[in-house]
Copies of this chain bind each other. A is one copy, B any other.
């Protein structure tokens, strides 16, 4: 059975392609009888319009592009599931692209998706992205973009984020209340929004509890955990610190797992020597040794919300909307890794 086109239907039914086209899309100005004939034949031959031809004609594709750092990260894969749930219901497909924390790859992915005429873009920035011209340019050309998770500061569009400040504040305060005083903060590249917001939550918690902020306890990993050596250096500096931290907050999946491995490798115990709370959606958190205390983001909902924003932008291009930044609550799950051993 070959692929069948409108032309084939027209030929078979002795009609013109335009009549067939109109019948297929239920135009009111078509004879009901003709319409029925066309519909039936199309159905029988299993006709499917060629989306490529449509894209070319209409300069749109009924699909939205997603650009994220890594799919091998539970936060992002959950977010994608949220996106798909909304997108499919509203008739869009989702095209996934990874940037692997590289600006270069982000650029290529963006270009690719734009050329494939996606109708909009859902983006979480790579760890290397401080230049956003490629997005700005597309946006002025009329391509709607919604950022989520890692969002740019000075960029006017919808954004969906977790309440990074509150989440980190809560986690840090929890550590303080457990009795930890020398709390380190292992985090992503300094220029990312999530990094800043989490750092602020951390600092505020310390301040509110009259604990001085020790800069040497704050470590940035400019590749967000993708490069082992980078994390290793940061963690080793903490471990070998003259006044070794007794707890650490880790701002991501890779950062958390690598940090745990390293603490273990160095023969230290969690939480007795160093306690840990991770900002992570790891599915195995409660199976870890020790079970990992974690700040979870509502990844699925974030994906859904971002997609709703985006599709609204796509479908009402000229509506003068106030752009929103939606902030969703995180959820702290306390497990063994952050509990002070009772002496």
A residues sitting closer than 8 Å to B (CB atoms) are: 1-3, 48, 50-53, 55-56, 61, 70-72, 74, 77-78, 80-81, 84, 93, 95-96, 98, 111-112, 115-117, 137, 141, 257, 260-261, 264, 282-284, 286-291
Q: A81 to chain B: which residues have CB within 8 Å?
A: 72
Q: A84 to chain B: which residues have CB within 8 Å?
A: 98
A3 touches B284 (CB 8 A): no
B141 touches A287 (CB 8 A): no
A52 touches B287 (CB 8 A): no
For this chain, the copies found in one complex come to 2
Contacts A56-B53, A96-B96, A141-B2 given; indicate if A48 touches B115 (C-beta within 8 A). Answer: yes
Q: How far apart are A286's CB and chain B's nearest CB, in angstroms?
A: 7
Known: A48-B111, A72-B283, A289-B289. 15 other contacts (CB 8 A): A1-B137, A1-B141, A51-B116, A52-B61, A56-B56, A71-B71, A71-B77, A71-B96, A72-B74, A77-B77, A257-B283, A261-B287, A264-B287, A287-B289, A288-B288
Q: A112 to chain B: which residues have CB within 8 Å?
A: 93
B286 touches A261 (CB 8 A): yes
CA distance A315 to B253 in the complex (A): 39
A290's closest neighbor in chain B, by CB?
Answer: B289
CA distance A141 to B4 in the complex (A): 12
Q: How far apart are A169's CB and chain B's nearest CB, in angstroms?
A: 26
Q: A257 to chain B: which residues have CB within 8 Å?
A: 283-284, 287
Q: A264 to chain B: which residues have CB within 8 Å?
A: 287
A52 touches B50 (CB 8 A): no
CA distance A81 to B50 in the complex (A): 30
B287 touches A51 (CB 8 A): no
Identify which of B72, B111, B115 contacts A78 (C-beta below 8 A).
B72
CA distance A53 to B51 in the complex (A): 12
CA distance A137 to B288 in the complex (A): 46
Q: A291 to chain B: which residues have CB within 8 Å?
A: 289
CA distance A265 to B13 in the complex (A): 66
Q: How far apart are A336's CB and chain B's nearest CB, in angstroms?
A: 9
Q: A2 to chain B: which residues have CB within 8 Å?
A: 141
CA distance A51 to B118 in the complex (A): 12
Q: A261 to chain B: which residues have CB within 8 Å?
A: 286-287
CA distance A273 to B235 in the complex (A): 36
CA distance A286 to B288 in the complex (A): 9
